[in-house]
Amino acid sequence: MASHNDKPVFAGIARTDEVATYLRNVGHTRVTDIDSDPFDPTLQSSSSPVSGERKPAAPADAGIWAASTHGSGIQTLNWDIEDGDWSLVVMNEDGSPGVYADISAGAKVPFLDELGWTSIGSGTVMLLGALGLIVLSVRPPRGGSGHQSGPAVAPAAA
């Protein structure tokens, strides 16, 4: 996350009910759905903000955040996912309106590396097995002269 107007920004993740209490009667806009391909956040109530009359307390002092970051320049927020309903809040560090920031998200999935190498190894073993079967099926049979020998047939008696 990085601010576009060089104003320090805050990002925090907290339980959704605690965020609702923190933002009660505070004007804000809520993102309720995000399409990832292509990226297109859908804002609540057709982009109309949630009305409110009070300025929130400084977010860094709220004490509700499971993870948070704040400051000028590029900020990185790391959070180990927990079960439950969680919300991400992005706002100016001083709680003033008009946050303007670029936000990107990613996930680290530790088992994908092992899964990838296991798939490559399994695929290689299967490829070698298939090549071996192809070689065995196209090579001529063993027998030296190339004539097929069958059972001996005795001449018929007259």
Q: ∠27-63-69 over CA atoms, to 5°? A: 80
Strands across the sheet containing 9-15: 67-71, 9-15, 86-92
CB atoms within 10 A of CB 13: 19
* Domain residue spans of the chain: 2-102, 109-137
Between 6-10, 13-17, 113-117, the lowest mean confidence (pLDDT) is in: 6-10
Average pLDDT of 21-47?
Answer: 66
The pTM is what?
Answer: 0.59
Instruction: Encode pLDDT of 71-89 as tens digits.
Output: 888 888 888 888 999 988 8
Residue 104 confidence class, pLDDT cut points 50, 70, 90: confident
The per-residue pLDDT for 76 is 87
